[in-house]
Amino acid sequence: CESNPLMPFSSPQICSSDTLSDDVEVTLPISNFADDLSLRIQMASNFDHGIDCASHNADWSLCYSQLFVFEYAGNEAYTDNNFAIYFSSIHRLLHVDHPDFEHGHVVGDLTYIKPTASFKGFEPSSEIILPVVFEYWSVQESDKMPRFFVVDSRDDSTAVIPNTDTEDLHDFVIPYTSSMKTEGDNNVPMTAENRYTRNEKLSEGFETDTSTRIIPTPFRVDISETAQSFGIVGVSLINADLLGKLQSGAEELVSTITMKTASDRDHVLILTIGTLPNDIAGTESYTMEITAEGTTITASHEEGLFYGVMSFLGLLDTSSSRSTMPVKEMTIYDKPRFDYRGHQIDSARNFRTKESVMQTIDAMALYKLNNLHFGLSNDEGWRLEIPGMEELTTVGSRRCFDLSEETCILTQLGSGPDASDEPQFYSVADFVEILKYAAARNVKVAPEFNMPGHARAAVVSMEARAKKKRDNSYRLMDPEDETELLTVQFYDRSSIINPCLDSSVRFVVKLVDEVVKMYAEAQLGLDVWQFGGDEAKNILLGAGYSAYDLPKELPFSKSPACIKKMQEDPTISIDTDAANYWALKVNQILAQKGIREMMAWEDGLNGMMKEEFEIAEVTVNFWSTLFWGGTDVLVEASKTGFGVIMANPDYLYFDFPYEVHPEERGYYWGTRENSVAKVFSFAPENLPQNAETSVDRDGNAMDITTPDWPAPVIKGMQGQTWSETVRTEAQHQEMTYPRVLAVAERAWHRGSWELDWTPTQNYHGTTALVPKDQLATDFKGFNTVLGCREVNKIWQRLGIAYRVPPPGAIIEGGILIANTELPCTRIQYSLDRGMNWSEYFTPVDVGVGKYVSLKSLSADGGLESRVVNVDQEECLSCQGVCESNPLMPFSSPQICSSDTLSDDVEVTFPILANSVPTSSPTASKVPIPEGDRCTFCEFGIPDLTVLPPKAGGQTCGDVKESSVSHINGDELCDIIQSVESICCPEPAPPCTFCLGGIPDLALQPPKAGGETCGQVRQQAAAYSNGDSLCNTIQSEESTCCPSEPADHCTFCEEGIPDLTVVIPEAGGQTCGEIRQSTAGHVNGDGICNAIQSVERQCCPGPADLCVFCKGGIPDLTVVIPEAGGQTCGEIKQSSASFITGDETCNIIQSVERKCCMHMASNLADDLSLRIQMASNFDHGIDCASHNADWSLCYSQLFVFEYAGNEAYTDNN
């Protein structure tokens, strides 16, 4: 069957060589079905939706509604119900409101929808709309994960739905029109207008001189009134050997930042070891005296010398167009605020390459961050090779769709059904290289292997080992444990290491031994171990689920191994304190291996004291939010004797959005925004103070009273880039930078505006205790250096693609006024929806009522912000959002409402050829009448002197005058409409050039005065309708663009393509490759345009000869729009002398069906035949009853396939 070019059939058929068997079915691969599917997700409402969330067991009765719209583009009905559609959902899917579909949860975020027994299938070119209900709320489009995939339940084969295989979420997520989470949500969504106001406050009076400020700010800087500025070309290090192990790192960073060879380095940095003033004495402290003759850096230790060099590099403006870099004479006395200044990378959820990690280490060194918290394991992945436990990477580093989980862990976080071709882990050699690289830049690496919770990748890997090798030595799950639970991220008990198994202890011993060896190979000691410890619990025990009949079992409460252990020692309660119990076990192992410090997330050590641990030092990462009682939790943590590192989500999590806007990426459970300004304003040593300078996650003022307790001792602080929604390197860089520079500033330098911890002091949004004028001045200086110098440095020198913030803008009396959060950032604006961009320098007249788009750019133009629109950032009306959205409207009427599942607003897909843009900001398309009334060039300017042949000798002016009183159906009206194209050849309202087509720029059209199409195109941008030049431009479009694209993306619908032909215009692709890429594209899409422009080269002749209704009788009065408004009669007259390949002939053939509804050729064109041999004998047929010679006969199958989109019922 599979080798037969005629087989398999598109529906189940007999496939037997000798018998008429009915038990063998052949089906098309699931990829055929998936290729014909597309998905659009429409947000409905977070509240006021009338859904009884409690009936679906929603936490705290919170749920939201959406529409999943599956469009099926197949030409034949798809009735096979042996499939399911799997996808990642960060919120639990609670309900599918459709009788033909049901849903289920696999593990983690992996969810599916599948047909029920009542499913009748997808009709040809149809869609199915599924109203769905999820838990909690959704206000960020990044809640929706990509790569939905179809699974064939018969063999578990998979295929991704093409338009979801993307990182551009708008390919399948309709832009959200509301950012309100609940009725009590007081967060202010960012628009161009209110962003302008905010930016104005941030940048008002910002410094323009960046020559004397460094990020992070030094402890003290002395600048003489007579200090001179001078220029340097490069930097040479004198006595570089004093840097010791840091020498190579310092020299490499000097070379990277200055980009100068040794012969070009004209300014010397003289390094010396000496005694420092008492007020700055310390290992990482230094002094630096800068003069035109040279710079002297003095420190007591090599670390201080290293940071002195980094400070000098921090002064350099590498983006300067001048031949030298300006520096000013000054003396710097510097020391760090905290000994621990960290940054966390979550490489477990989504893998960061070795090169990316090293890039991060360079940035950390440059801005004096000295601790890398390296997340190497979690539920979703294990990222470090461990010799002797190979399954951790052969299984645990790979995500795919394998329900047995013997080859990989199940796909999560939108990674799709297929494992990556590239290794998603660090080999031993990779990790040793990272350790050496970090050590040379004064960065300590603390590996995190999260346990006992968030450990599913390890648990499943060891289960695969046990199954494959029958080796239980390192097994982490009790096979007899029947405990039912649900973790924070919707995993079952396989997410938590069972602490009662001896094999779990052996696993940790083996793990620690191997990691210690790696550090030794890098000639380093393993000083710090990050234990993790967080969220090892069953969330169904929470108060929000208390009213529901759900499994509410404590972890390991049904594990025979744990029951036995608790019976043996009644003083322990593993089920209630699994993390605490396991923390002590791991601590004992670490102490035996000589590891000095154990770190953990704060909740992993809840209720414990330092005295319980054998290890010398225990530190917690503090991650309670301020509005959830964080101050009280901090005080309790300080009482334990543990060191405290501030890792507050509501200020220091970089997987949260930069601003309140649905298009911003990230989670938002702790706050709706963590802007650069907010991170900068964080006061780590006086947590209550932050209540005055920020709001809670619902946008409300906080009221925090400082506990009556001494100030907690803070060891340090760090930023976190969790990666659940951060899948690519570009996304990682955008989410981390430039926010991490604000963390570096606060970790190294205490602002003058930071207040001391004062017991019983109250802070509120209305109090005025914080000197906000000092804070504003400090931030403006920081922000100026950040925007005008540092972001260019990390982009141009380190290759880090930082986030460029979108601009703010207002329009007053037609004057566009724009600004940006980041000084020295460029702004561009567009008046034609992004087709052409102009540089913004000063306020510019754009006209009243114009739709204006804006974007920000890096200084070199290499990075761009997302595009924003004045007055269009929030939904002004349902119609406006639907029509401006490239995914909307749907191909048949769909609901389009921002907050409700409304059924009274319908939007249908406009045909591009029959619509033109207008200047309205809320309605981008206006349909041209198609015979509804008598019109005359409604959207164009006619040449009134033209004498059209069909007007009976009248001019266009005469015809226009006669059109006023006539309605559709009148003979004169028909004449008027028939001559409009002659009087008004190109009537589009804006001056366009081949709206959707690809012009041949070298052509010289006759009406263009000798200019080429390229020259005409250049002139088109600035002209509007009515201008004579614009009319000329429009009149030449058909000449320049002979292959204007069709209304939808097609591929030789009427012809047979030669799939091997290579098309230069399509980037060297073959016709076959182009054909494959058509799925999911809509009119106007660039790829679609390219496809349409090359179809004729792939399909030179769509029919054998130019015919007109070969066997039928045409309705000669039908008007065919595609044929320039000709009637079928006129087309028929023109068909006689044409042969295949002629453009007119092609038009004729394309419209025959509309003119001739009943003809044999129509049916024949839609038919195909396959003949299947069955049997010559033993077929059970009575041949004699059919009068066969010598009673001999054989059997076959004639299979007629009908490809028509409509039923064919004519039996004539």
Instruction: Compute the distance between CA of residue 1034 and CA of residue 995 in angstroms, rounded to an integer.
Output: 10
Alpha-carbon distances of 924 from 43, 581, 912, 920, 1184, rounded to whole Å: 21, 63, 11, 6, 73
Asked if 687 and 636 touch (Cβ cutoff 8 Å), the reply is no
Question: For residue 227, how many other CB atoms are within 10 A of its CB?
Answer: 15
Tokens of 760: 């019983």
Give the residues across from 102 on adjacent strands. Answer: 114
Tokens of 64: 């939201």
Hey, which bits of 264-402 come out as E strands?
A: 267-273, 286-291, 294-299, 325-328, 330-334, 340-346, 371-378, 381-382, 399-400
Tokens of 240: 């570089």
Residue 395, burial from CB neighbour count under 10 angstroms (0-12, 13-18, 19+) = buried
Instruction: Compute the distance between CA of residue 222 and CA of residue 289 in angstroms, rounded to an integer.
Output: 9
> Coil, helix or strand for 646?
strand
Asked if 717 and 645 touch (Cβ cutoff 8 Å), the reply is yes
Count of helix runs (H) and strand runs (E) in the chain: 29, 47
Pairing of strands 528-532, 444-451: parallel
Asked if 72 and 122 touch (Cβ cutoff 8 Å), the reply is yes
**Using alpha carbons only, what angle is made at residue 679 by residues 673 and 680, rounded to the nearest 5 degrees?**
140
DSSP summary character for residue 263: G
Residue 947, burial from CB neighbour count under 10 angstroms (0-12, 13-18, 19+) = middle
Asked if 260 and 300 touch (Cβ cutoff 8 Å), the reply is no
Instruction: Compute the distance between CA of residue 349 and CA of residue 723 in angstroms, rounded to an integer.
Output: 6
Radius of gyration of the chain (CA): 35
Sign of the torsion angle spanned by Cα atoms 394, 399, 400, 405: positive
Instruction: Encode 811-853 in three state secondary structure.
Output: EECCEEEEECCCCCCEEEEECCCCCCCEEECCCEECCCCCCCE
> Coil, helix or strand for 281?
coil
Instruction: Compute the distance between CA of residue 750 and CA of residue 757 in angstroms, rounded to an integer.
Output: 14
As annotated, the active-site residues are 535
> Which residues make Cβ contacts (< 8 Å) with residue 978, sequence separation at least 6?
950, 1125
Instruction: Compute the distance between CA of residue 872 and CA of residue 885 in angstroms, rounded to an integer.
Output: 12
Instruction: Compute the distance between CA of residue 828 and CA of residue 804 in angstroms, rounded to an integer.
Output: 13
Tokens of 876: 């002004």
Please spell the DSSP secondary structure of 184-219, one letter per residue: T-------HHHHHHHHHHHHTT-----TT--SSPPS
Instruction: Compute the distance between CA of residue 666 and CA of residue 659 in angstroms, rounded to an integer.
Output: 10
Please spell the DSSP secondary structure of 1121-1165, one letter per residue: GGGTTEEHHHHHHHTTT--TT-HHHHHHHHHHHHH-SS-HHHHHH
